[in-house]
Structure 1
Amino acid sequence: MAEHDSSYKLLFSHRELVADLIRGFVNEDWTQSLDFDTLERVREIGVSHDLREREDDILWRLRLIKDGREHWLYVYLLLEFQSSVDPYMAVRLLTYVGLLYEDLRKADAIRAGEPLPAVLPIVLYNGRDSWTAKTSLSDLIDPDLPPQLRAWQPQIRYLLLEERRYAEADLAGLQNVAAALFRLENSRAPADIQRVVASLLDWLAAPEQTELRRAFVVWLKRVLLPSRVPGVVIPNVIELEELHSMLAETVKTWVEEWKELGWKQGIEQGIERGIEQGIERGIERGIEQGIEQGIHRGETKILRRLLMRRFGTLPAWVGERLEQAEESEIECWTDRVLDCDSLERIFGESH
């Protein structure tokens, strides 16, 4: 968990990624008034000791220009990678924002009589389970209170960005570094990762983007690739271009390894099935048929696993097609796995 958080925090220590996160995923009109040239990381000023101890929180600020006047906007970014959803996230944010205001006051960043600056709390969540927690504190407070008493209760809301909610088709159309990160998080196979890394190479080609490219390499090596391709040997590379080349070879190797595994499982199942049939029909003919059936079953099994790695839980119609498929169909569909972006295209029809 600590390795995951620190690698992710390294990414969001780069202003371009934070800027793209706001531009691409805070879909409100007032963002058009933001001056992204003023975007800066807040390290000491306005950050209490308690907040500095929190490794999953990142604080940025930038100017909001309204009616010719400039206002500071603080973007409080909380990276949430828990295995379970925190139902009291709004309470946590209330505490953190309160501490931020207190520290701004102590640091003389707010003069006496001046209004408090705006804070945009963002919770970035990449867990497998859907986020079910309330995003408004008022929804957590006893709903049966008298209306006048409810008026005295504290209020705060946070913007939830749940990565799994964004469809690949929508993200792929954005030239946005944050969208690329979401696509990588949602990827299921090396081929998917390779495509996104290729896009990042184009978008982050400028010399001043070297550190962000390397931050992606660190995160890919330490977090994403070990979870998506378990057991893969990751060379000691520091450049995104080197990692992209490695992935190109990994895609080929990965497919061949799975095919080889499928053949082995098929032969084992075939021998077992052949022995059973041999009792009734003769060992020689039974083993021959059993091996053929076993190989077919092994190929079908590996195709099913490839599809699940690529697309997640498979609909019922896919299972029916696999059970009824001929050997030639299995081979055809396997060849399409890495090239087609939907189950319908792989199987050559719509459902």
Structure 2
Amino acid sequence: MPENEGQPRLPHHPYDKGYRQLLADKRVFMELLKTFVREKWVETIDADDLILMNKSYVLQDFSEKEADIVYRLKTRDKNVIFYVLLELQSTVDYLIPFRLLLYMVEIWREIYNNTPQHERESKHFRLPPIIPAVLYNGASSWTAALSFKEMLDGYQDFSGHFLDYRYLLFDVNRYNEEELIRAANLITSVFLLDQKMRPEELAGRLQKLSGILRRLTPDEFRHFTTWLKNVVKPRIPGDFSAKIDGILDASNPWEVERMIYNLEITLEEMQQQALLKGLKEGEQKGKLEGKLEGKLEGKLEGKLEGKREVARNLLLLNFDIETIVKATGLTPDEIAVLKKQLEQ
């Protein structure tokens, strides 16, 4: 039986929560299909016809391994169920085709039990087709079988006499950066940030996505920052986690450069603190601390000077102060000072 009498399982992993919240928006789910599934039926689906089934079909045996999300498409012409298993583990589970089958049967069994007896005994009764999919973000290549028949011993000898299906695979780390940036939407931005990287690379990747993030709607941008919180914050020490929270909560699409700048500064401070923490007390620590602080201050001053130069150019082009604030992240007072300097 599905666990908790129809209530969704609480995700045990930050990625579960992040992706479940993201894909619970049917517009984002449609974006996932239309971006990565090259099949004609995708174009016939309207997001308004999708209904999120707020229920998990993951069996108790696997409840600590995975999460799922289920949509039902029901129109005059179609009655289809999309079942996406969130396989957000570091290693591949080769039983995936079998486990997907268990979940699909569980869905069909529930539909059968909830259909009036006279309807299900009619010759016209049909079960809805289920399109299974797996979203995987492990660093290792996905090497599990993509069709159920591959799990059957000697299936080549009995072709046409057994159950088979093939699932969709969304393998986050296998999409190349150019492809994700070219698609220019919310789900591809998330995938690019979810690909394997060192913490110090986060700001650089965000910078590459800045143009895309700036064009997101406020709702889409909030989905993005919520996902970022769920996935990035658990890796951040407590003191800096609160700073990350504050930066993301105060962010919006039209000030995305300021968000990236503030995140970059916070991450650099975190790296500096981590280096200093590993050293013994004494003169060596003092020297290195001074060196690191000087390096950080120089880097920050260089970034700030770059922003000032952009602001000067915009002032010369007669842009208003509000626009320059949004473009550079400088305060109105800082821009006013630069304006006075140009007028002298």
Question: Which bin holds the TM-score, normalised by the shorter protein?
Answer: 0.5 to 0.7
6-15 or 93-102, larger mean C-alpha shift: 6-15
For structure 2, which runs of at least 5 residues remain unmatched after alignment? 1-10, 279-283, 293-297, 304-344
| Contact persistence 2:180–2:192 (CA under 8 A) | yes
Indicate the residue corresponding to 2:319 in structure 1. none
Indicate the residue corresponding to 1:200 in structure 2. 213
Q: Would you say how many aligned residue pairs link Structure 1 and Structure 2?
A: 267
Indicate the residue corresponding to 2:89 in structure 1. 82
Indicate the residue corresponding to 2:51 in structure 1. 40
Separation in 1, partners of 2:69, 2:101: 16
19-28 or 218-227, larger mean C-alpha shift: 218-227
| Contact persistence 1:185–1:224 (CA under 8 A) | no
Q: Pick closer, same or farther for the CA change 1:261–1:160 going to 2, 3 Å.
A: closer
How far residue 199 of structure 1 moved from its aligned partner, in angstroms, is 2.7
Indicate the residue corresponding to 2:6 in structure 1. none
| Contact persistence 1:197–1:240 (CA under 8 A) | no
How far residue 263 of structure 1 moved from its aligned partner, in angstroms, is 11
Q: How does 1:254-273 map to 2 (within 5 A)?
A: 254-255=267-268
Q: How does 1:239-258 map to 2 (within 5 A)?
A: 240-241=251-252, 244=256, 245-252=258-265, 254-255=267-268
Matched, 1:183 2:195: no
How far residue 34 of structure 1 moved from its aligned partner, in angstroms, is 1.6
Q: Which amino acid aligns with 1:174?
A: A
Q: Deviations over 1:95-135 (max 9, x none)?
A: 11111111112222975423222211110000111111111
Q: Pick closer, same or farther for the CA change 1:100–1:248 going to 2, 3 Å.
A: same
Matched, 1:108 2:115: yes
Secondary structure class of the residue paired with 1:2:
coil
Q: How does 1:9-158 map to 2 (within 5 A)?
A: 9-43=20-54, 50=59, 56-63=67-74, 70-108=77-115, 111=120, 112=122, 113-143=124-154, 147-148=157-158, 150-158=159-167
How far residue 27 of structure 1 moved from its aligned partner, in angstroms, is 1.1
Separation in 2, partners of 1:48, 1:102: 11
Q: Which amino acid aligns with 1:185?
A: D
Q: How does 1:252-331 map to 2 (within 5 A)?
A: 252=265, 254-255=267-268
Indicate the residue corresponding to 1:222 in structure 2. 230
How far residue 84 of structure 1 moved from its aligned partner, in angstroms, is 1.5
Q: Pick closer, same or farther for the CA change 1:184–1:197 going to 2, 3 Å.
A: farther
How far residue 137 of structure 1 moved from its aligned partner, in angstroms, is 1.2
Secondary structure class of the residue paired with 2:46:
strand
Secondary structure class of the residue paired with 1:151:
coil
Separation in 1, partners of 2:106, 2:182: 39
Separation in 1, partners of 2:214, 2:226: 15
Q: Pick closer, same or farther for the CA change 1:146–1:181 going to 2, 3 Å.
A: closer
Q: Pick closer, same or farther for the CA change 1:264–1:100 going to 2, 3 Å.
A: closer
Separation in 2, partners of 1:84, 1:250: 30
Indicate the residue corresponding to 2:318 in structure 1. none
Q: Pick closer, same or farther for the CA change 1:226–1:263 going to 2, 3 Å.
A: closer
Q: Pick closer, same or farther for the CA change 1:106–1:41 going to 2, 3 Å.
A: same
How far residue 174 of structure 1 moved from its aligned partner, in angstroms, is 1.2
Secondary structure class of the residue paired with 2:99:
helix
Q: CA RMSD in A?
A: 4.2
Secondary structure class of the residue paired with 1:173:
helix
| Contact persistence 1:85–1:132 (CA under 8 A) | yes
Q: Deviations over 1:285-315 (max 9, x none)?
A: xxxxxx9xx9xxx99xxxxxxxxxxxxxxxx
Secondary structure class of the residue paired with 2:215:
helix
For structure 1, which runs of at least 5 residues remain unmatched after alignment? 266-270, 272-290, 300-330, 337-351
Query: Percent identity of the aligned residues?
Result: 27
Separation in 2, partners of 1:249, 1:139: 50
Q: Deviations over 1:60-94 (max 9, x none)?
A: 12257xxxx61122110111112221101000011
Q: Pick closer, same or farther for the CA change 1:27–1:192 going to 2, 3 Å.
A: farther
Q: Which amino acid aligns with 2:50?
A: L
